[in-house]
């Protein structure tokens, strides 16, 4: 699914602190600038706690018909979110998924999955990937030309083709360029790895800690992946517009 081709899955950040929820939206927005990200933090009086009304309104605002993923910081926030979902019409409840995942890492991964056009299952899987080892990701994060889920790369398979480039941007593959890289990688239906990890997994890419001057090997088990590898290599060598 191409970015911008259809309404995206919405993401709701639920926290006991209004400032934390707003901050998480601000953080995720750096990597998912057009995704529908809504904060639902604090009580109705701006105190510490959760609000049924805030969460209900956030779910409604986030849902454009493709569903909503809700991430929460503490157990009582989950209970409030579940209550808000239970008060929805039965036809709407199935579109709201309350995901048990780390609020920061899972939220950022979910936001990027929504940004690149992932469906509800893909966005949930992206959030849950924060629990998984980052050396190998086997989660549905994009779709191939037939509409079927394209899964992450098994890094244990030998590469058929590869190209190595050097990072030139001063801060390396930090959050914003990593998200830009993953967005591009997710448009291709061929399997690609970056230094042995799935090129379409934001958390896996960021876990590599690639700094300026790092050697980056782009590889694939598919001989038809050259155009994808070259496009990704060109992006890395562009410096992402950074000085």
Rounded distance between C-alpha atoms, residue 128 and residue 110, angstroms: 8
| Mean pLDDT score, 132-142 | 41
pLDDT, tens digit, for every residue of 38-72? 999 999 988 999 999 999 999 999 999 999 999 99
Please say if 16 is a catalytic residue: yes
Rounded distance between C-alpha atoms, residue 138 and residue 50, angstroms: 34
Which residues does 122 contact at the CB level (< 8 Å), separation at least 6?
113, 139, 140, 141, 142, 143, 149
Rounded distance between C-alpha atoms, residue 56 and residue 133, angstroms: 33
Structural domains of the chain, ranges and CATH numbers in brackets: 10-131 (3.40.50.510), 161-241 (3.30.1340.10)
Q: How many C-alpha atoms does 136 have within 13 Å on its Cβ side?
A: 6
Question: What confidence score (pLDDT) does residue 171 get?
Answer: 84
The 10 Å Cβ neighbour count of residue 140 is: 20
- 152 pLDDT band, cuts 50/70/90, is very low
Alpha helices in 63-102 (DSSP H): 75-86, 90-93
Exposure string over 4-24, b if 16+ CB within 10 A, otherwise e = eeeebbbbbbbbbbbebbbbb
φ and ψ of 3, to 5 deg: -60, 130
* pTM of the complete model: 0.71
Of the listed 16, 94, 143, 174, which one is catalytic? 16
| Mean pLDDT across the chain | 85
Rounded distance between C-alpha atoms, residue 22 and residue 211, angstroms: 29
């Amino acid at each position: 699914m191409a970015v911008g081709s259809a309404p995206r899955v919405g993401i709701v950040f639920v926290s006991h602190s209004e400032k934390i929820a707003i901050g998480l939206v601000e953080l995720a927005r750096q990597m998912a600038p057009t995704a529908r990200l809504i904060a639902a933090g604090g009580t109705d009086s701006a105190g510490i706690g959760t609000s049924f009304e805030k969460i209900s309104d956030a779910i409604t605002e986030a849902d454009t018909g493709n569903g909503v993923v809700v991430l929460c910081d503490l157990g009582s926030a989950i209970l409030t979110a579940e209550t808000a979902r239970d008060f929805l019409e039965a036809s709407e409840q199935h579109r709201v998924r309350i995901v048990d995942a780390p609020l920061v890492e899972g939220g950022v991964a979910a936001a990027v999955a929504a940004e690149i056009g992932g469906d509800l299952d893909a966005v949930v899987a992206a959030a849950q990937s924060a629990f998984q080892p980052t050396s190998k990701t086997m989660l549905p994060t994009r779709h191939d030309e037939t509409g079927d889920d394209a899964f992450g790369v098994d890094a244990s398979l030998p590469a058929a083709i590869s190209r190595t480039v050097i990072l030139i941007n001063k801060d390396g593959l930090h959050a914003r360029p990593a998200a830009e890289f993953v967005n591009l990688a997710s448009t291709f239906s061929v399997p690609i790895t970056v230094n042995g990890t799935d090129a379409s997994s934001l958390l896996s890419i960021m876990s590599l800690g690639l700094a300026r001057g790092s050697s980056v090997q782009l590889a694939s088990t598919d001989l038809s992946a050259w155009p994808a590898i070259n496009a990704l290599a060109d992006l890395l060598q562009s410096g992402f517009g950074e000085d």
